[in-house]
Amino acid sequence: MPDRVRLGMLTPSSNTVVEPVTAAMLADIPRVTAHFSRFKVTEIAVSHVSDRQFDESAILAAAELLAHAKVDVVAWNGTSASWLGFDRDERLCRRLTEATGVPACSSVLAFREIFERTGVTRVGLVTPYVGAVQEQIVRNWREAGFDCAAERHCGLTDNFAFADVSEGDIAAMIRAVACAGVEAVAVVCTNMRAAPLVERLEAEIGVPIYDSIATTLWKSLLRAGVGPASIRGWGGLFSDPRLGSAEAGRLEGLGARA
């Protein structure tokens, strides 16, 4: 059994949140580490210019560099498929595995899997995006069987600026959608500081909250054969028995702190 697990993460070039938050989540599992590669993404909008940022060639080039670090999984730690379509990430994950020879996953496909495994169909949607992007997410998710029964968004297009949305504003949006009788809240963006709020807000509002950075890490751990329950203090996603895996035994011997 290997004594170290390396999680490979692909992230937009202007993202400043995903790396420190992921590292904080893994702080108590010193032998599981996250390693990042970037490609150019600066704007999120409904336009050909914005969509071209997510061309597979740029993503695959970044993934091939990640593979030099001998990672155990490659994860697309971004949410573009939420408005471009789940099929985009299905195809991308296949291509990532072909290019790197390791399992692949994505934040958006992790959301879908979580909803399916927990039976969630009514979702409260929170994002920093503009209305046109939000509308596409709502439409795509509805077609996949998930009704975004309540939503809040910030109206921003500058990807770098997403990180400046305050924790107070994020918490207010989460509380607002949770009041609409949803079964779960989805914070869709890997450049927002929602993850540190999840444990406290879940206790307050009594509704599961799934943050994009957390969903990526959850699925990456599963793909690498590490039990998600080793992550403590970051919300019910990691402790929900419905979201565990038969592959979880790999954590044994990796030195998780009590």
Q: What domains does the chain contain, in order, with CATH numbers?
A: 5-108+213-248 (3.40.50.12500), 110-210 (3.40.50.1860)
For 45, 213, 245, 250, the CA distances from 42, given in Å and listed in that order, are: 10, 18, 35, 37
pLDDT at site 217: 98
Nearest to 44 by CA among 228, 192, 148, 144: 192
Dihedral-angle region of residue 25 (phi above 0 means left; psi in -120 to 50 means alpha; beta otherwise): alpha
Task: Measure the CA–CA gap between 184 and 206, rounded to whole angstroms.
Answer: 9
Task: Give residue-wise pLDDT tens across range 81-123.
Answer: 999 899 999 999 999 999 999 999 999 999 999 999 999 999 9
Task: Measure the CA–CA gap between 212 and 215, rounded to whole angstroms.
Answer: 5
Task: Measure the CA–CA gap between 25 and 48, rounded to whole angstroms.
Answer: 35
Task: Measure the CA–CA gap between 185 and 174, rounded to whole angstroms.
Answer: 7
> pTM score, two decimals?
0.91
The tens-digit pLDDT sequence of the chain (258 residues) is 357 999 999 999 899 999 999 999 999 998 999 999 998 866 676 656 565 656 788 899 999 999 999 999 999 999 999 998 999 999 999 999 999 999 999 999 999 999 999 999 999 999 999 999 999 999 999 999 999 999 999 999 998 999 999 999 999 999 999 999 999 999 999 999 999 999 999 999 999 999 999 999 999 999 999 999 999 999 999 999 999 963 443 333 343 443
E strands, 16-100, where?
32-39, 73-76
- SS3 at position 98: helix
Task: Give residue-wise pLDDT tens across range 209-218.
Answer: 999 999 999 9
User: Rounded to 10 degrees, what is the CA torsion of 86, 90, 96, 99?
Assistant: -140
Which residues, 6 or more positions from 45, have their beta carbon under 8 angstroms from its beta carbon? 130, 132, 133, 157
H or E element that contains 158: none
